[in-house]
Structure formats: structure tokens, C-alpha cells
Amino acid sequence: MIAKSKIFEVYESYEKRRQLYTINLVPGKEVYGERLIQENDCEYREWDANKSKLASSILKGSPNVGIRKNDVVLYLGSASGTTVSHVSDIVGNEGLIFAVDIAPRVMRDLIFLSYQRKNIVPILADSNKIDLLKERICTVDVLYQDVAQKNQVEIFLKNADLFLKNGGYALLAVKARSIDVTKNPRQIFREVKERLEKEMIIIDQRDLEPFQKDHSMFICKKR
């Protein structure tokens, strides 16, 4: 049986294991091969934690991811739209997602997705070059970043400073091996935490094993 979870607009069931769902914004349409389930007069999309760091964070116990209905979200590192599509379900038709990625191939998939989901705005751009984003993005309620670059923390803080409203939530999926392959991931996570604490309030941190190897999710709030 599918029921509401403690996370806004996210649902869950307990059969053999805990499974997450969002209510499908576009009934009858799946995005990445996920199961569609009819129950409680709703159509739910199964949310695969092995393909989504945000889902992984929720399953690992994050108490609040900060994304709510009608929110405006800046999503850096959107890829082809797996997690973006579930955020699209969460924010609904009155919400908006600026989905930024640097890769033309995945942007093509994201553009096709935006034809079905009108609350997604695909932007082909480098998240590191914020001057090029200024004229295309407004102030947002939530920043979500999943970018595999060595300076991912710097990118996160620059974009939060420019686009995130005061008191807004900012989620950073840290890829330790992208920062330094020679260091222990736990050491990198400690260093990231120290860097973030200088400029933001850290609400929660979760290592994402076994769903995502050498990853940690930081959930922050702008001062």
C-alpha cells in the first residue's frame, strides 16, 4: 500500500523493502522505464534510488529535502532528466525547474522531456560560468547540484550566492572521486563540510552508500 512519507509530495510503500514514489504529473507517461502504479485514484511513478541521488538521500534518512509544491528550482547537472522528472512531479504545474547541463547529448533528451512536462526549462550551459546564466534564471527557492567537476563546491556556492533566495534550501550531491581520487572519500566529505559551514547552514548530511558509491548529500540553508 502506498502512503504519504514525511517528505513533501513524496510517497512510500513497505513490501520487501522501502520504496519511494511521486504522483505522475503526466499520467500514462514513464520517463526512464520506471513502473507506473495505479492506486488511491492516483498514478504513482516508482522512484529508483539506484538512479537518483535525491531518492538515495531520502532512503538514507534525510528528514527534509526542502523541495515543495510550487517551488522554483535551479537544478545544476540535470543529465537526461531522471531525478529532474521526479522534482517536476513534486513542484507541480505551478512550480518551475531550470534544468542546466553542459552536455548536448543529454540536453536533447531533456528537451523532449520538457515537451511533456511544461514546468521544466532546459538550459544548455556550463554551471561554472554563472555570468552566462544571469539573464536566463530568476531568484529560486531551491538549488540542487549534481555536477562531477573538481571545483563542484565552488560552483555550488557561487550559484547559491547569485540565484538562491535568503533562507532557501540548497542540496549538494558530492562526488568524492571527482574532487580527488587520491584521498579517502570521508576525508573529502569532512573538507566539504568545513567549507560549506563557512557560508551556509548545514541541515543534514547523508552518505549515499549502498545506492551511490563515494557520494554524500549535503542539505543546506542559505543564511
Average pLDDT, the chain: 95
Percent of the chain surpassing pLDDT 70: 100
Q: Are the C-beta atoms of residues 78 and 27 closer than 8 Å to each other?
A: no
Q: Which domains does the chain have, with CATH numbers?
A: 3-47 (3.30.200.20), 53-222 (3.40.50.150)
Q: What is the pLDDT of residues 129-152, one digit of tens each?
A: 988 898 899 999 999 999 988 899
**pLDDT over 90 (residue 199):** yes
Q: How far is CA 15 from CA 7, 20, 46, 69, 112, in A?
A: 19, 11, 13, 27, 34
Q: What is the pLDDT of residues 84-134, one digit of tens each?
A: 999 999 999 999 999 999 999 999 999 999 999 999 999 999 999 988 898
What pLDDT score was predicted for residue 54?
Answer: 98
Sheet holding 42-47, edge to edge: 3-4, 11-14, 18-23, 42-47, 36-39
Phi, psi of 142 (to 5 degrees): -140, 140
Predicted TM-score (pTM) of this structure = 0.96
d(CA 65, CA 7): 7
**What confidence category does residue 177 fall into, taking pLDDT thresholds of 50, 70 and 90?**
confident
Q: Residue 222, class by beta-carbon neighbours within 10 Å (0-12 exposed, 13-18 middle, 19+ buried)? A: middle
